[in-house]
Structure 1
């Protein structure tokens, strides 16, 4: 047999598809085998599954992120509600607010009287330094007290400044004695405080005194170069330099020193006295030892009374006045105790009345239930009697009908029924 490919020359070993077409134009490429097709299908399927997994992973990540965001927002909402409407807040009656208002009025009257007395007295101070810290919030202070705080540059609670023990300052501090804490500092303590908590006022901005460059730029003309010079001027400098340094420095923040958020006075939180006690409890971490308020110091004996100054003590009540005030206070306490006892008696009577009323209500309810049960039982009984009567009437009707039928049969005989009779069933033959 002659070969069909006799006209074709033998191709080289490796040729591309296009070269093979040029070499042999009539030659068709070999079809893909079933094995190759199967491999291709598996590859495509694997690729699809990988893409699907990637999509699922992306979707899962997005859903997890959205869930996290939603949970965070819910938590914020709950925290906001807790702040606005705390559960542990005590219920306050109208009498409580009336008492608070009356106390505030009395306090303002005493403040006015004390201010008048202090203005008439000449207070002689000296050049000692005081470290004054404000404890009370704005809502706990009268407008006059707030004005004094603004003059002393104590704009916010838990801020402190250095002041001279002059007559004017002592008068101001005597009027705000309940809302402040006063300390007589040492030079080393002043230096430590400036180094750790000192901030300067540069172009109406709060800048930390971390280096001596800020001090040198501001006070180079006056000969101040470092923090030690500032401490010396605060302790021993004249009034002009003292005012320069104090106005250059920002008021100290006490709550930052304690590093505790519970020191902050909240909107509905504790009173000024409680917050002051809280401040004194935390003061061990601070280089200063906080003392009681200025007027309380003046009422004591010894060094604190002497340090206050004899002129300002004249403005305080005398021993007789103090005894009289204590008697009045005791009488008020006794009256309040009596009122409480009377109120307790009234409460006990009201409680017994409530118990009796509860008992009567229970009895009335029981009687009503018994009446309802009796009415229902009588209703059921009457229904049974009616049913019996109807049954007897039916029986009488049937008996009457039967008697008439018998009489008619006797007269005319039995009627033949017109209904067709069914044929009897055929019995199967038994072999």
Structure 2
């Protein structure tokens, strides 16, 4: 009877141990993926109920104000969507710096901005070169689902799976698309981390084109630049 060399026995034991570890890692990965899917579905259902309650409360407040002969004034918007509509020619240094701060380095780039006194003042300085408004939750969802890219290790990674979001901003409790959309639309406590994780959206030229893009004409005067309020949602729909 030929005795098996000690080195061969050690090698077989090591290979068996590695195979067992790989099997266990695969099982744990499947379990984690299954649990993450359940958590994402639960989060989406919770946010859907929250959005429905908020919409119903808004309708009820309008009806109550109308019944009492008054007016219902909704809360001021907390977030703006900015789209760059002009190139680099003729841009003042101050406006160029502000657009860099807003990460609008290319034409048709779009980013979200939290509205406060300082950002509103900055927006007014770059009005001739951008158009902006107040996006609805539906618009935010479409942008993230259709044009969403995350920033991982300074690289532009498509958000094709919730694992990309968890790797990027999972440390602050944002683990799926529903969490990311909720944080952006409600301007939550971790809005800065969520917004910085999102790569600036690269939109296309709008279907039908811009009417007076080359002229420094404000939207209220028939042009394209400046604040267009809720009308930004119609423009985004043409540019996705």
> In 2 relative to 1, CA 224–271 (structure 1 residues): closer, same or farther, beyond 3 Å?
closer
Residue by residue over 1:128-186, the C-alpha shift from the partner in whole angstroms, topping out at 9 and shown as x without a partner, is 11101111111121111111111111111111100111101000011111111112111
Match of 1:202 in 2: 152
Of Structure 1 and Structure 2, the greater helix share is in: 1
**Are positions 1:293 and 2:226 aligned together?**
yes
SS at match of 2:89: helix
- Superposition map of 1:116-265 within 5 A: 128-239=78-189, 241-255=190-204, 258=206
State how far apart, in whole Å, the 1-side matches of 2:214 and 2:178 are: 35
> In 2 relative to 1, CA 272–244 (structure 1 residues): closer, same or farther, beyond 3 Å?
farther
Residue by residue over 1:286-317, the C-alpha shift from the partner in whole angstroms, topping out at 9 and shown as x without a partner, is xxxxx7513x87xxxxx99xxxxxxxxxxxxx
State how far apart, in whole Å, the 2-side matches of 1:162 and 1:132 are: 6
> In 2 relative to 1, CA 276–196 (structure 1 residues): closer, same or farther, beyond 3 Å?
farther
State how far apart, in whole Å, the 2-side matches of 1:145 and 1:225 are: 35
Count of residues paired in the alignment: 154
SS at match of 1:138: coil
Match of 1:68 in 2: none
- Superposition map of 1:293-372 within 5 A: 293-294=226-227
- In structure 1, the gaps of 5 or more residues are 1-124, 264-269, 282-290, 298-302, 305-431
> In 2 relative to 1, CA 136–211 (structure 1 residues): closer, same or farther, beyond 3 Å?
same
Q: TM-score, normalised by structure 2?
A: 0.55
State how far apart, in whole Å, the 2-side matches of 1:273 and 1:133 are: 16
> In 2 relative to 1, CA 178–162 (structure 1 residues): closer, same or farther, beyond 3 Å?
same
Residue by residue over 1:328-354, the C-alpha shift from the partner in whole angstroms, topping out at 9 and shown as x without a partner, is xxxxxxxxxxxxxxxxxxxxxxxxxxx
> In 2 relative to 1, CA 199–292 (structure 1 residues): closer, same or farther, beyond 3 Å?
same
Deviation for aligned residue 1:213:
1.0
Q: TM-score, normalised by structure 1?
A: 0.32
Of Structure 1 and Structure 2, the greater strand share is in: 2
| Contact persistence 1:129–1:184 (CA under 8 A) | yes
Q: Which runs of 4+ in 1 moved over 6 A?
A: 274-277
